[in-house]
Amino acid sequence: MVRVYYSGRFRKSVKRLNEKQQAQLARLVVLLKENPFDSLLHTKSLSGRLAGIYSFRITREYRVLFRFLSPDEILLIDVGGRKDIYR
């Protein structure tokens, strides 16, 4: 099982999500802890200036950015709309 840490930016961004999105995020974090590459997460490795960072889907519109601190530790960096999160 992977240990998950939350950045201050992530915690702040989660508060902007509605209740349904927050509930979905909570379910997906449980999956992330079990297997960061579970097919339900749609995990993607990012490139360019975001190399070394990964994303997973909450909904079609919302994504979570994270990175591995070690093979068994993940830092959740931010959450937001897919059009804005990668900037």
Domains of the chain: residue spans and CATH? 3-81 (3.30.2310.20)
Give residue 12's identity as a one-letter amino acid code: K
Residue with tokens 């959740």: 76
Model confidence at 51: pLDDT above 90: yes
Q: For 52-81, how does the pLDDT look when each residue is reduced to its tens digit (9 = 90+)? A: 999 999 999 999 999 999 999 999 999 999
Closest CA to 54 of 66, 42, 63: 66
Residue with tokens 């830092």: 75
Q: Tell me the β-bridge partners of 3.
A: 73
Q: Mean pLDDT across the stretch 21-40?
A: 97
Task: Please count the CA atoms within 13 angstroms of the CA of 36 that sit on its side-chain side.
Answer: 22
Structure tokens at 9: 């930016």
Model confidence at 86: pLDDT above 90: no
